[in-house]
Amino acid sequence: MKPPAIERRELIRILAAAPAAPAAAAAGAYVPRFFTKEEYAKLDELTAALLPEEPGSPGARSANVGFYVDTVLLYAPADMQQQWRRGVASIDPSRFAALATAETNPSTEDERFFGVFKRLVLEAFFQSDAGAKFFGYRGNAAVSGFNGCAR
């Protein structure tokens, strides 16, 4: 199924609002565009439980992960939107450990959703300003070498 097309004016409106939207989301003034307010509150709870704020480490809320997920799902195919509505309604943070255990071999809808949920939440965090700063991304900076991965 082909995702819905975005009209040029809608795209310009989204891009113009993008710098202000994360600040509004952080201040609690963000009005979700895909989720209902209740669903968005639950999404916020779930993302914060998966990526909590810790001393010296930003979490999902400071990275505005909910805003990212809400925006992605606004333009997602209908089957993905339905999966997220069902998934957000059916899981809670107290089940994360059990769902994560089954992540490599999911057998239930909740277990499958948890993997999808986790991937999109991490994608949102890695692409956020807070996530980039946490991981030391410097932007358009020249590097003289690559140190490789440390174990």
Tens of pLDDT, residue by residue over 6-57, are 676 766 666 665 555 555 555 468 999 999 999 999 999 999 999 999 998 8
Per-residue model confidence (pLDDT) at position 115: 96
Query: Considering its fold, how many domains does the chain have in total?
Result: 1
pLDDT beyond 60 at 131? yes
pLDDT beyond 70 at 148? yes
Instruction: For the full predicted model, state whether its pTM sits above 0.95.
Output: no
pLDDT beyond 70 at 79? yes
Question: Residue 40 and residue 117: Cα distance in Å, rounded?
Answer: 14
107 within domain boundaries:
yes
3 within domain boundaries:
no
144 within domain boundaries:
no
121 within domain boundaries:
yes
150 torsion bin: left (phi>0), alpha (psi -120 to 50), beta (else)? beta
77 within domain boundaries:
yes
Tens of pLDDT, residue by residue over 61-75, are 999 999 999 999 999
Question: Which domain range does residue 65 map to?
Answer: 8-134
Taking the CB of residue 107, how many other CB atoms lie within 10 A of it?
A: 8
Tokens matching residue 75:
């333009």
147 within domain boundaries:
no
151 within domain boundaries:
no
Taking the CB of residue 131, how many other CB atoms lie within 10 A of it?
A: 21
Question: Residue 65 and residue 123: Cα distance in Å, rounded?
Answer: 9
